[in-house]
């Protein structure tokens, strides 16, 4: 070691200013990591919503079981990221901040209402299963010498479509006030899509947090983003399954986010596209693409069987094959969606419990210690 004047040289003393600079640098680094975590969450929400937009070669529109499967998958993915923020990243302790309390209360209220939409969607899918069974019976009956059986099977299927439309029309006209008639409508609602009188309430518009995500309100805007994804998912699920009333009106869009949020423009665009597609299909007995294909094939098979004179076996067989293929496509999309709706139901319950658990932990941590 170098010596000067016969004495060892000592390193410069560590003064208080250096300690403060190091501490300040660590705080800034933590704040930057926190901002990056929240920015990644908002970007993830935007990416999943962008993937839902239909492309030029999309075979199905936004009113299809295929789209609903992708939508629920996007919701589950966003919920995973939100739970990661609260648990793995340790931001659950910020939920009790004054800037986040309103957003948290809104999310908790919205989860309860969403469970009603999931239940109604499950009933609607069960009624679609009923249509599928009737169509599958008609397709399998289309063999030589069974024209009468085919006609009866298809007539029963088409009558179910008509009864479904009639049940929805009566249910939305306010006639459910009579006890005997409302009971009849509930029965029809289980075998049709869902009668208008039994439509669950779709969550209303969200309250946008004050401030900005970069102004220290990151947790409030993260909760708001999750509430928005949940509200949009339930609105789309209700529009496609529960509110299947071709003569009615689409519930108003529940999300009107600020444009500076990364995912805002994509969500607004999806809502506008769904509203346009609803208006273009208004008046149809069914709006789901898979159900419309089923209805078209059933009518085609009926026309082939009832053709003047003796129907050609080749025409009947061809239309029966088309109906059978429509049944297979419906089943391929229906079974996974039924499982997804159940998973979303349980996930919403679990996420709500996690938020409440974080709030309870924060409350206990902030409580003054009990004196001995």
Q: What is the pLDDT of residues 259-312, one digit of tens each?
A: 789 999 999 999 999 988 888 876 565 678 898 888 888 888 878 777 655 667
Residue 280: predicted pLDDT: 82
Alpha-carbon gap, residue 209 to 343, rounded angstroms:
29
Q: Which residues contact 123 (CB under 8 A, 6 or more apart)?
A: 189, 190, 194
- Give the count of alpha carbons within 13 A of 319, CB side only: 26
CA–CA distance, 165 with 246 (Å, rounded to integer):
8
3-4 and 7-8 as β-strands: parallel, antiparallel, unpaired?
Answer: antiparallel
Q: What is the pLDDT of residues 210-239, one digit of tens each?
A: 776 665 688 999 999 999 999 999 999 988
The pLDDT assigned to 11 comes to 56
Lowest mean pLDDT among 81-90, 303-312, 356-365: 303-312
| Mean pLDDT within 101-128 | 91
Distance of alpha carbon 58 from alpha carbon 15, whole angstroms? 66
Runs of H (alpha helix) within the chain: 16-50, 65-86, 101-140, 147-172, 179-191, 218-237, 264-280, 289-305, 313-366
Of 279, 288, 268, nearest to 67 (Cα)?
288
pLDDT score of 254 more than 50: yes
- When the pLDDT of each residue in the chain is averaged and rounded to a whole number, the result is 77
Specify which of 10-24, 130-144, 204-218 reaches the highest per-range mean pLDDT: 130-144
| pLDDT at 146 (0 to 100) | 54
């Amino acid at each position: 070691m170098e010596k000067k004047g016969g004495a060892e040289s000592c390193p410069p003393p560590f003064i208080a200013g250096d300690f403060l600079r190091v501490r300040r640098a660590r705080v800034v680094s933590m704040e930057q990591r926190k901002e990056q975590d929240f920015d990644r969450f908002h970007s993830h929400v935007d990416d999943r919503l962008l993937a839902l937009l239909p492309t030029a070669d999309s075979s199905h529109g936004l009113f299809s079981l295929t789209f609903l499967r992708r939508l629920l998958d996007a919701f589950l993915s966003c919920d995973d990221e939100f739970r990661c923020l609260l648990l793995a990243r340790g931001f659950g302790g910020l939920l009790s901040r004054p800037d986040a309390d309103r957003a948290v209360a809104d999310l908790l209220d919205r989860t309860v209402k969403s469970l009603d939409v999931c239940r109604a969607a499950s009933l609607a899918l069960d009624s679609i299963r009923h249509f599928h069974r009737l169509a599958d019976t008609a397709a399998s009956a289309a063999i030589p010498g069974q024209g009468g059986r085919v006609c009866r099977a298809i007539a029963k299927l088409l009558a179910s479509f008509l009864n479904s439309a009639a049940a929805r029309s009566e249910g939305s006209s306010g006639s459910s006030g009579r006890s005997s008639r409302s009971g009849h409508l509930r029965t029809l609602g289980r075998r049709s899509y869902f009668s208008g009188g039994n439509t669950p309430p779709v969550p209303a518009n969200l309250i946008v947090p004050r401030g900005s995500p970069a102004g220290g309100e990151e947790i409030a805007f993260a909760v708001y983003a999750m509430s928005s994804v949940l509200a949009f998912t339930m609105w789309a699920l209700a529009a496609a399954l529960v509110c299947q009333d071709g003569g009615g009106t689409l519930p108003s869009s529940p999300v009107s986010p600020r444009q500076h949020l990364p995912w805002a423009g994509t969500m607004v665009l999806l809502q506008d596209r769904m509203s346009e597609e609803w208006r273009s299909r208004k008046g149809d007995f069914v709006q789901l693409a898979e159900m419309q294909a089923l209805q078209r094939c059933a009518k085609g098979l009926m026309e082939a069987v009832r053709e003047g004179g003796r129907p050609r076996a080749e025409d009947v067989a061809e239309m029966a094959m088309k109906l059978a293929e429509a049944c297979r496509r419906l089943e391929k999309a229906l079974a996974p969606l039924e499982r997804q709706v159940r998973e979303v139901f349980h996930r919403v319950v679990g996420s709500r419990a996690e938020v409440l658990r974080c709030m309870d932990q924060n409350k206990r941590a902030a409580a003054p210690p009990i004196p001995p």
